[in-house]
Amino acid sequence: MNTNNQVFLEGERDEAVLLIHGISSGCAQMVPMGKMLNDYGYAVHCVNVAGHGTYPQDLLHTSYEDMITKADYDFSMLKRHYGKVYVGGLSLGGCLSLALAGLRDDVAGIISISSPLRMLPGNFVTAEYPPEQVFIHRDLGGKVGVAKKYHIHYEEIAVRVCHELLALTDYLREEGRLEKITCPALIAQAQDDDMADPASCHQIFQRIRSEKKVLYNPPSGGHNLAFNEGRFQLMQSVVSFLDPF
């Protein structure tokens, strides 16, 4: 896996899972989780968020509304072929999962992973950038293990996309927004998340109105819980969550 081309894995069930990556990556980031879900018979589509997986300049013109629209399109394409479609995502992707579940009544369930309602200060998303700065340089080197293979991102990331993620968190925090979510939900976040405020998972869990909701809040695992070494424990929770349906 050395590109961020969207990945579709055909399954054996009439059920599919749409997986959406985080802010500084592409669809390859969700492939490890996708392969595990596919082993359980689910069709899986790992997609690129709007403005991602193409050229860095595309993020200069991409809003969070565009990201919601693209996720809604990807969901609709899967829904044409499968009776049940779940949506899961990491960080930005988790926020988009929440947004979709609040807008549609045909989402079978959501898997929200490390989804911020607020970002912690001191990281590249919340940093103060000079008005003239257009891109943030993030070196591709220094990664090991699964991250080296699957966490593929632009070396130059548009400052704008950070602002759009923060705008998306503002959107989700609006009164009544999360309360529209009634589908089954797994809310996952590690207590040592150093990007998203670790209180986010508890706030989301309390506000959604799903009759079936599960909170997975391990002491460690970091922000990239879906594809780091803690992903196996997360997957046990995901499969247990999905299987009863």
- What is the Cα–Cα distance from 240 to 81, expressed in whole angstroms? 24
- What is the Cα–Cα distance from 129 to 79, expressed in whole angstroms? 41
Nearest residue to 168 (alpha-carbon basis) of 53, 50, 11: 50
In the chain, pLDDT over 70 holds for what percent of residues? 92
In a domain, 177, yes or no: yes
The domain that holds 58 is classified in CATH as 3.40.50.1820
pLDDT, one tens digit per residue, over 1-43 is 346 789 999 999 999 999 999 998 889 999 999 999 999 999 9
Would the CA dihedral through 37, 38, 42, 45 be positive or negative? positive
pLDDT, one tens digit per residue, over 182-196 is 999 999 999 999 999
Q: What is the pTM of this model?
A: 0.94
| H or E, element range at 194 | none
Give the HSE-up count for residue 244: Cα atoms under 13 Å, Cβ half-sphere.
Answer: 11
In a domain, 77, yes or no: yes
In a domain, 14, yes or no: yes
In a domain, 1, yes or no: no
Beta strand 84-90 with 135-137: parallel, antiparallel or unpaired?
unpaired
Say what the pLDDT of residue 1 is. 38
In a domain, 2, yes or no: no
In a domain, 231, yes or no: yes
In a domain, 211, yes or no: yes
Say what the pLDDT of residue 3 is. 61
Per-10-residue mean pLDDT of the chain, 245 residues long, equals: 79 97 90 94 97 86 96 98 98 98 98 98 94 87 63 79 97 98 98 97 98 97 84 92 77
Residue numbers of the domain that contains 131: 7-242
Nearest residue to 203 (alpha-carbon basis) of 218, 192, 217, 219: 217
- What is the Cα–Cα distance from 104 to 143, expressed in whole angstroms? 37
Contact predicate 1/203, CB 8 Å: no
In a domain, 86, yes or no: yes
Say what the pLDDT of residue 84 is. 97
**What domain count does the chain have?**
1
Say what the pLDDT of residue 149 is. 63
